Amino acid sequence: MNCDYCEISRKKVKSEIVYEDDLIIGVVKDMATFPGQISLFPKEHYTIIELVPNPVVDRIFQIANKISIALFESLGVQGTNIIVQNGTAAGQKVPHFSVDVVPRKDGDNLNFQWKTKQLMDDEMDTAYLMLKEEGDRLFIDKEPKKEEIKIQDAKTEMILEKEGKDNYLLKQLNRRP
User: What CATH code is carried by the domain that includes residue 79?
Assistant: 3.30.428.10
Could you tell me if 80 and 14 lie in one domain? yes
Could you tell me if 12 and 99 lie in one domain? yes
Domain boundary among 74, 104, 134: 104
Could you tell me if 21 and 71 lie in one domain? yes
Distance between CA atoms of residues 136 and 115, nearest Å: 30
% of the chain residues with pLDDT over 70: 76
- Give the lowest-confidence range in 7-11, 76-80, 131-135, 141-145: 141-145
Domain extent for 43 = 4-104
Could you tell me if 98 and 29 lie in one domain? yes
Q: Residue 112 domain-assigned?
A: no
Distance between CA atoms of residues 121 and 95, nearest Å: 36
3-state secondary structure of 82: strand
Could you tell me if 165 and 88 lie in one domain? no
Please give the mean pLDDT across all residues of the chain.
Answer: 81
Cβ–Cβ under 8 Å, residues 44 and 96: no
Could you tell me if 90 and 19 lie in one domain? yes
Q: Residue 96 domain-assigned?
A: yes
Q: Residue 91 domain-assigned?
A: yes
Indicate the helix (H) or strand (E) that contains 46. none
H helices of the chain, where?
4-11, 54-75, 121-139, 168-174
Domain boundary among 50, 80, 104: 104
Could you tell me if 20 and 76 lie in one domain? yes
Distance between CA atoms of residues 25 and 97, nearest Å: 12
Q: Residue 119 domain-assigned?
A: no
Task: Give the mean pLDDT of 119-142.
Answer: 83
- Give the lowest-confidence range in 17-31, 84-98, 116-130, 149-163: 149-163
pTM of the model: 0.70
Note the pLDDT of residue 150: 52
pLDDT tier at 155 (50, 70, 90 boundaries)? very low
Q: Residue 133 domain-assigned?
A: no
Q: Residue 53 domain-assigned?
A: yes
- Give the lowest-confidence range in 72-76, 93-97, 135-139, 157-161: 157-161
Could you tell me if 173 and 87 lie in one domain? no
Domains contained in the chain, number: 2
Note the pLDDT of residue 177: 40
Domain boundary among 82, 104, 126: 104
Could you tell me if 92 and 175 lie in one domain? no
Distance between CA atoms of residues 129 and 137, nearest Å: 12
- Give the lowest-confidence range in 41-50, 57-66, 149-158: 149-158
